[in-house]
């Protein structure tokens, strides 16, 4: 039998509760442990000053506290900050702080690399290594928020839009959300968390069934199956018809408005006919549309759509009374913008 200790930061809230139950201790002790591990972010069990010796000895015997570390911190001219993280097993992944007038948004990763190989995205160019654990996902918030606190600010919003497909690391992502929103941890409002997916149909329905109170964004980019097959291979497994049914199911179950992310690629999905088709697609449920300016990545044939076409596209959608925004790219000078995150040690 292996004597390898388990990283306590990779346990769910239920797992912590079960430790306390097994020790026949009072239930509030699990809440204290959660506060120390995930809220205060301690790196040693000895720092748990209000935990009885019996519990501490059990924790020390069976568990460890592993944390990722920041090995590079870059700042953009527009205020965006990018962090290169290293795991305890020497893998690398990135997270970003995006600053605007009234908020600081943390964009976090859920996988090291990505298996989906969307043709416009840097994250999948070197393949997939592994899923990030609950603790590794949470640590990105912990470490980036420490940087904010040093500047008398704090993270106000979280977008799960960094490296990887969150719904292919479903259990760890959901447990991270449970931790970050727990009143014994950060107490973060689910309404300030947005999860972005390319459209993993079964998991979208699973989120709907679980009535998870976060925001859902779909990386759509086109409503033409042939075009989507070309730029997003996942469409061959879950095509637009299947995705449409999943979105209908999600809205019926939750009543939540979907956000569509639409990356504008020159001469690929930027025509007026593309806008007309998109407007028709979005009739399935209330929604918001974010038009995204493309950020070119290495060895990619695609180019940024012309401003005139982008504006025509926007004006048509706006004329149909749709909620639509043009999302300006931030952090492009440090490769921190949408689609530019990678798993390399730079």
Lowest mean pLDDT among 224-233, 280-289, 336-345: 336-345
- Domain identity same for 121 and 52: no
Residue 302, pLDDT score: 87
Give domain status of residue 171, yes or no: yes
Tokens of 113: 């690399």
| Region 142-171 average pLDDT | 94
Q: Which domain, by its residues, includes 288?
A: 69-334
pLDDT category of residue 332 using cuts at 50, 70 and 90: low
pLDDT exceeds 60 at position 336: no
Instruction: Verify that 18 and 113 share a domain, yes or no.
Output: no
Q: Are residues 272 and 189 in the same domain?
A: yes
Distance CA 168, CA 161 (A): 13
Check residue 132 and give its pLDDT: 97
Same domain, 271 and 184: yes
* Residue 103 shares a structural domain with residue 126: yes
Residues above pLDDT 90, as percent of the chain: 78
Q: What is the pLDDT of residue 301?
A: 80
pLDDT greater than 70 at residue 186: yes
**Catalytic residue annotation:** 94, 338
Q: How far is CA 178 from CA 11, 34, 91, 175, in A?
A: 11, 11, 25, 5
245 lies in some domain = yes
Distances (CA, A) of 209 to 4, 256, 287: 36, 13, 20
Check residue 212 and give its pLDDT.
87
Residue 324: band (very low, low, confident or very high) from pLDDT cuts 50, 70, 90: very high
Claim to verify: residue 28 and residue 173 sit in the same structural domain: no
Q: Which letter, b or e, does each residue of 73-102 get, where b requires 16 or more Cβ atoms within 10 Å of its Cβ?
A: ebebebebbbbbbebeeebbbbbbbbbeee
pLDDT tops 60 at residue 340 = no
Distance CA 168, CA 128 (A): 11
Do the domain assignments include residue 339?
no
b/e 169-194 (16+ beta carbons within 10 angstroms → b): bbebbbbbbbbbbbebbbebeeebbb
Whether 344 maps to a domain, the answer reads no
Domain annotation covers residue 343:
no
Strands 92-99, 128-131: parallel, antiparallel or unpaired by DSSP?
unpaired
Same domain as 55, residue 183 = no
User: Quick one: pLDDT at residue 101?
Assistant: 83
Structural contact between residues 172 and 42, judged by C-beta atoms closer than 8 angstroms: no
Q: Is 1 inside any structural domain?
A: no
Asked whether the predicted pLDDT for residue 196 surpasses 70, the reply is yes
Evaluate if residue 267 carries a pLDDT over 60: yes
Calculate the average pLDDT of the chain.
91
Q: How many domains does the chain have?
A: 2
- Residues 305 and 157 reside in one and the same domain: yes
193 plus 47 within the same structural domain: no
| Residues 282 and 330 occupy one common structural domain | yes
Q: How far apart are the first and last CA of the chain?
A: 39
Question: Tell me: the pLDDT tens digits for 292-320?
Answer: 998 776 667 889 999 999 999 999 999 99
Q: How far is CA 194 from CA 95, 162, 316, in A?
A: 15, 11, 26
Tell me whether residue 342 is in a domain.
no
How many Å separate Cα 288 from the centre of its chain? 18
**CATH code for the domain of 109:** 3.20.20.70
Mean pLDDT across the stretch 191-215? 95
> What mean pLDDT comes out for the span 195-224?
96
Cβ(269)–Cβ(226) below 8 Å: no
- Name which of 32-46, 57-71, 302-316, 322-336 the model is least confident about: 322-336
The answer to whether residues 271 and 123 belong to one domain is yes
Q: CA of 90: how far to CAs of 71, 86, 93, in Å?
A: 11, 6, 10
**pLDDT band per the 50, 70, 90 thresholds, residue 1:** very low
């Amino acid at each position: 039998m292996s004597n390898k200790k388990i990283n306590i930061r990779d346990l769910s809230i239920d797992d912590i509760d079960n430790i306390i139950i097994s020790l026949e201790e009072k239930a509030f002790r699990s809440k204290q442990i959660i506060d120390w591990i995930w809220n205060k972010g301690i790196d040693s069990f000895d720092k748990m000053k209000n935990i009885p010796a019996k519990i501490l000895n059990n924790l020390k015997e069976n568990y460890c506290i592993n944390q990722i570390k920041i090995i590079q911190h870059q700042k953009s001219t527009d205020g965006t900050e990018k962090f290169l993280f290293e795991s305890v097993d020497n893998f690398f992944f990135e997270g970003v702080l995006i600053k605007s007038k009234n908020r600081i948004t943390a964009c976090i990763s859920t996988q090291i690399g990505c298996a989906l190989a969307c043709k416009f995205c840097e994250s999948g160019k070197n393949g997939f290594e592994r899923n990030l654990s609950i603790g590794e996902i949470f640590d990105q918030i912990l470490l980036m928020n420490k940087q904010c606190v040093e500047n008398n600010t704090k993270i106000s919003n979280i977008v799960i839009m960094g490296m990887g497909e969150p719904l292919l690391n479903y259990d760890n992502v959901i447990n991270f959300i449970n931790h970050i929103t727990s009143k014994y941890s950060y107490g973060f409002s689910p309404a300030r968390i947005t999860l972005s997916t390319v459209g993993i149909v079964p998991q979208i329905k699973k989120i709907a069934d679980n009535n998870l109170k976060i925001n859902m964004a779909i990386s759509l980019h086109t409503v033409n199956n042939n075009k989507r097959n070309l730029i997003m291979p996942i469409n061959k497994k879950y095509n637009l018809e299947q995705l449409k049914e999943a979105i209908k199911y999600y809205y019926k179950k939750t009543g939540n408005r979907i956000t569509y992310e639409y990356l504008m690629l020159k001469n690929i999905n930027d025509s007026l006919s593309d806008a007309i088709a998109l407007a028709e697609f979005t009739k399935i449920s209330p929604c918001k549309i974010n038009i995204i300016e493309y950020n070119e990545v290495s060895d990619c044939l695609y180019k940024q759509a012309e401003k005139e076409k982008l504006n025509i596209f926007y004006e048509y959608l706006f004329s149909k009374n749709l909620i639509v925004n043009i999302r300006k790219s931030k952090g492009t000078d440090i490769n921190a913008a949408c689609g530019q995150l990678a798993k390399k040690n730079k």
